[in-house]
Structure 1
Amino acid sequence: MSVYPGRGVHGQVVEAIGRRIVHGQEAQGSTLDVDALEITYDVSKTVVREALKVLAAKGLVDARPRRGTFVRPRSEWSLLDPDLLRWQFEDPTGTRLLDDLYEVRIIVEPAGARLAATRRTEEDVERLAATLAAVEETSGAKEIIEADLAFHRQLLEASHNELLIRMEYIIETGLRARDLLVHAEGHQDDFLPPHQAVLDAVRASDTDGAERAMLNLLEQAAKDEQQIKNRGRE
């Protein structure tokens, strides 16, 4: 069984079975043989059953009398669960969720940028500027990922629309998993200019400019995601 840093045996079994299901190696509707899983992963039946409970909570599996434990249809999966997002983005053939995330962002974030340019306070602008300033001092992947998440969250907070702000917390779950792939090695040069353009337009209360800058930023994001897809085909 592969080793997943930071996870014990129980967590490793969750990772292994979860990946198989999400990557299509365990078909939807198929029955899982608990005894076979115990042998395959060289763990106790208790560990397998506890792992299956975790996967059931994520919507991946269910258990019924006389049928046993089976893989639930994708429509019932908790797609925004952080592990599911990570497993889906790790699948070199599974780019569907990247496309879905992009479509949601293109609907929500340009409109959010327009509102932010209209409603932002000086404090909002200062927070956005501080986030980008911190990136200038590092090229580390972890710092860039956290800055990206913070910037997009702060931008929609600057819209001062409570429902729109809640949307960003949903988007952020997918965005974090996506960023782990895109910014795996750090991309400060690519990261700063499009984000700075959004900030400049918001600071200037330029609604059209803020919307346009966010569209440009998302266009760059789409190019980054296309590189991920191309790597998956190699």
Structure 2
Amino acid sequence: MTPYARRGVHGQTVEALARRILGGRIPEGATLDLVALRSELDVSLTALRESLKVLAAKGMIDARQKRGTFVRSRADWNLLDADVLRWRFEGADGNGRDQALLHDLAEMRAIVEPAAVRLAAGRRTDADLAALDAALAAMAEPDAGPARAVDADLAFHRALLAATHNELLERMRAVLESGLAHRDRIVHSSPHSGDPVP
């Protein structure tokens, strides 16, 4: 999915507002001053409204009569949305690392992946095994470089979830892929990263 920032003024506005909300610069419960934001971001009212619709769809903001447009409680945000995950990874600290998010991702993987493995072991097809083998072979390539290592790891997890033949688990792919892609960039870019195959 193309990051919003690459989608013109509308996309840049979405990203700017999302990062401010996720970073706490615009806190939960705050009412947005649309006139000030429009001036500050130097965007048209139409671009601002379209951007707010995107954030509303992600549960981050809402609009009510007599209250205006406001930031919703974090409990209402769609934290599993691929864009929200990406924004959290890219803007958390100066290094683009949200340690709490990495911890939550590790816990979620510890719960989901063993269950997926059990299902896949009983339901996999020959095509599923071939996809898993191909991903493992790509992960084992020496000197593949960080980008290829990330792609191979994602291919492995995608194949694993597909091998469960459980439609809901397969949909977890979007969450795991977004989180793993950012985690893997950190891990595989480190000179101390080990062999991912074991």
Q: Secondary structure at the match of 1:125?
A: helix
User: What is the aligned-residue identity percentage?
Assistant: 49
Q: Secondary structure at the match of 2:18?
A: helix
Residues 1:176 and 2:181 aligned together: no
5+ unaligned residues in a row in structure 2: which ranges? none
Deviations 1:77-108 (A, max 9, x none): 11111111011122027432222221121112
Partners of 1:23 and 1:191 in 2: CA distance: 34
Offset at residue 141 of structure 1 (A): 3.7
Q: Secondary structure at the match of 1:70?
A: strand
What residue number does 2:17 align with?
A: 17
Partners of 2:195 and 2:131 in 1: CA distance: 17
Q: Residue 135 of structure 2 contacts residue 152 of structure 2 at CA under 8 Å; is this kept in 1? A: yes
Q: Secondary structure at the match of 2:197?
A: helix
Residues 1:193 and 2:193 aligned together: no
Offset at residue 153 of structure 1 (A): 2.3
Letter in 1 for 2:60: L
Deviations 1:172-200 (A, max 9, x none): 42442342343259559635432xxxxxx
In the superposition, the TM-score normalised over structure 2's length comes to 0.81
Offset at residue 43 of structure 1 (A): 1.3
Partners of 2:161 and 2:82 in 1: CA distance: 21
Residues 1:152 and 2:154 aligned together: no
Partners of 2:55 and 2:110 in 1: CA distance: 31
What residue number does 2:56 align with?
A: 56
Larger relative contact order, structure 1 or 2 (CA cutoff 8 Å, min sep 6): 1
Q: What RMSD in Å do the two structures reach over aligned CA positions?
A: 2.6
Aligned ranges 1:1-234 → 2 under 5 Å = 6-90=6-90, 91-92=92-93, 94-135=98-139, 136=141, 139-160=144-165, 162=166, 166-183=168-185, 186=188, 190-194=194-198
| Number of residues of Structure 1 aligned to a counterpart in Structure 2 | 188
Larger Rg, first or second structure (1 or 2): 1
In the superposition, the TM-score normalised over structure 1's length comes to 0.69
5+ unaligned residues in a row in structure 1: which ranges? 195-234
Partners of 1:124 and 1:175 in 2: CA distance: 18
Q: Residue 6 of structure 2 contacts residue 12 of structure 2 at CA under 8 Å; is this kept in 1? A: no
Q: Residue 116 of structure 2 contacts residue 169 of structure 2 at CA under 8 Å; is this kept in 1? A: no
Q: Residue 154 of structure 2 contacts residue 180 of structure 2 at CA under 8 Å; is this kept in 1? A: no
Q: Residue 158 of structure 2 contacts residue 173 of structure 2 at CA under 8 Å; is this kept in 1? A: no
